Amino acid sequence: MEPMNAVKTVPVQLTGVGYAVPEKVLCNADLETMVETTDEWIFTRTGIRERRVVQDGEFLWQLCVPAARQALAQAKLDPADLDLIVVATSSPDYPMPSTAALVQKELGAFKAAAFDLEAACTGYVYGLAVCKQFIATGMYRNVLLIGADMLSRFMDYTDRGTCILFGDGAGATVLQAGTREGVLSTILAADGRGAGHLDISENPNEPGAPARMARRQYMHMNGKEIYKFVVDVVPPMIEQAAAQAGIEVGQIKHYILHQANARILDAVARRLKLEDGAMLHNIAKYGNTSAASIPLVLGEGVDEGVIKPGDLCCLVGFGAGLTWAAAIVEWSGPAS
C-alpha cells in the first residue's frame, strides 16, 4: 500500500527533437586572417574545425522556429496543442519580449504560455528540469523546450582565447505526458563565487553593467579555471544522477555533454573510464553553441540512428554562473 502522503506524478517522455544552425560557416582558416592563430593550434587545443555564425540581420528566433518545427513533426504534435514554450538562452534578440514569445507567434501556438530561461551553457538541462515539473505535476501535457544561442554577437575577434570557440545554433525537444518515465533524474547546481571566470561585460575582471545598459560587451573567459571546475564537478555529478535514477553508470549508453572543448570531453571520458563511442560529440563542426549544444548532439544522434528508442542518455551542462547540471533521460521517440 502506498503511503498516504505519496505524491503521484505523471511520466514525462521525450518524443521529438530538432535543430538548426546558420548557413554561414566560419572555419579555422578564416580565423587565421582575423587573429593570430592557425588551424592546427585551434584543433589540437579545442577539437574544433569550424563553427556556424549568424550574419547581420539574422535573429535567434529565426533559428529556434525551424528547430521547433522539426521536433514537433517528429513528435507528431500540432503547434496548437502546445501548453508551454521555454527557450533557454543567454543571447535573446531583445531584453523583452522573450524569444519564446516570438517563437510562439511564428508557430501559431497561441494556447501555449511562453518564457525564457537563462543559465548560460547549462540552460538546456536547467530547462529540462523546469519543464519536467510542469508535466509531472499534471499542469501541462505538451511542452516545447529550446536551447539556443548566438554568442557570436559577443565575440571579440581579436581575442584568441574566446573567438575560436563559439558558434551559433538552436536545438529543440518536445516533452509530453506519457506512460513511461523518460526523465529519470535531474540535478542542478550553481556557485556564484566563480561568476568572474566567464562573463559578458565591459570589464574582463568582474561582471560589468547589464547588457541593456552597457555600450558594448564582449565575452571574457578564464579557460584554465573553467577546465579545472568542469573536470572536478562533472564526473561525481554523473554518478549522483545515475544513483538518483536508480541505475548503474554502466547502463548509460550515450553521454551527451555540453560541447565546450574536446579536451574537457576526453578528460571526463577518461575519468569515468567510458568505452569508445560512448561520449557523443559534434564540436568539430559547430564549436561551442552554449545552450544549443546538448540538443544539437541529441538531434543528430537520433537522425543518424545512433540514439534509438529506449536508449539511456546522460545529459550534462556546465558554464557561466558558475552553473552545472545533469539529467538521465530515455529517448522515447514519437508517442504511440
C-alpha cell read off for 63: 533559428
- Report yes or no: 289 and 259 within 8 Å, Cβ to Cβ: yes
In 3D, which of 51, 268, 88, 263 has the Cα closest to residue 165? 51
C-alpha cell read off for 294: 546538448
Residue 163 to residues 59, 264, 294: CA-CA distances in angstroms? Answer: 20, 18, 20
Q: What CA–CA distance (Å, rounded) separates 66 from 59?
A: 12
> Which residues neighbour 170 within 8 Å (Cβ) at sequence distance 6 or greater?
19, 20, 21, 60, 63, 64, 66, 67, 146, 147, 148, 149, 292
In 3D, which of 295, 210, 222 has the Cα closest to residue 18? 295
In 3D, which of 296, 242, 253, 300 has the Cα closest to residue 277? 253
Q: What CA–CA distance (Å, rounded) separates 298 from 258?
A: 11
Give the 3-state secondary structure of residue 93.
coil
- Report yes or no: 12 and 177 within 8 Å, Cβ to Cβ: yes
Give the 3-state secondary structure of residue 74.
helix
Q: What CA–CA distance (Å, rounded) separates 226 from 318?
A: 9
Q: Which residues are catalytic?
A: 121, 258, 288
C-alpha cell read off for 38: 592557425
